[in-house]
Amino acid sequence: MASKAASKRLSKEFVAMQKEPPPFVWAAPDEKDILTWYFIVRGPPDSPYAGGEYLGCIMFPSEYPFKPPGIKMITPSGRFQPDRKICFSMSDFHPGSWNPAWSVATILTGLLSFMLADEITTGSVTTTDADKRAYAARSHAWNLAHKRFRDMFPDYCTEQLKDLPNMAQKERGIPPAPPVALPATAQPVSPAAPGQAPQPPATRAQQPNGVVPAAAGPAAPVPGAGETGWMDAWRKVLWEKWRWGALIILAVVVSRLSG
């Protein structure tokens, strides 16, 4: 059972993991035991583990953070023996080198660094880079078949690999995605003068690839068409007035003749 200090510390670390996860790793505690955490490590793109996804476990002692945890990798990786404790400076193999200031994020960052090295230790295996790449290619399918992975990380149980919250884009110098421009129909349209077509929202130089979107609504009038329409309307008004005037005059003449 976790001590009060361990429970409080690990709860804070879970919040910190949510806010600022370290590159290529993700972790969460077992909902029934805060001393048992499961993690995912993703292989960096410039390593033999590229495209790999590795499930592991951290087993904290009740005296944490004053004593180090046990750590093991569960998914076959070609670097560590599956489901066996790993000996490195941040694990319970070396309590003398443990620093209580270290956290879950620190441990996992150190584990990834140790994974990328070739040092032989308890819990490690020796394989070629080709072997590691083969394990990486099979790792996601292996995880999907593992009940603990499905229970702990259901959001990552997808057909295709899903990126972790931090895939080290900043560290790798990948610029953020550019903002998405509003569609042309959502941009304001300049008011048009009478008899003229509405102005497009942007010039050709402002549009991607120099292509101006077609304006929505009725087509622009043919030159001279506005003038012709105006004259026709005026003739119609004059004809209506003339016709009614003629009828009135005729009615007056008829009434006088009758009198």
Residues carrying an active site annotation: 87
- CA-to-CA dists, residue 147 to 32, 84, 186, angstroms: 16, 18, 48
**DSSP string for residues in 140-192:** HHHHHT-HHHHHH-GGG-SSS----S---TTTTTPPPPPPPPPPGGGS--B--
Nearest to 93 by CA among 72, 63, 77: 72
Helix then strand then coil, % of the chain, to nearest 5:
40, 15, 50
Q: Where are any strands of DSSP class E within 64-111?
A: 70-73, 84-85
Give φ, ψ of 225 to 5 degrees.
-70, -35
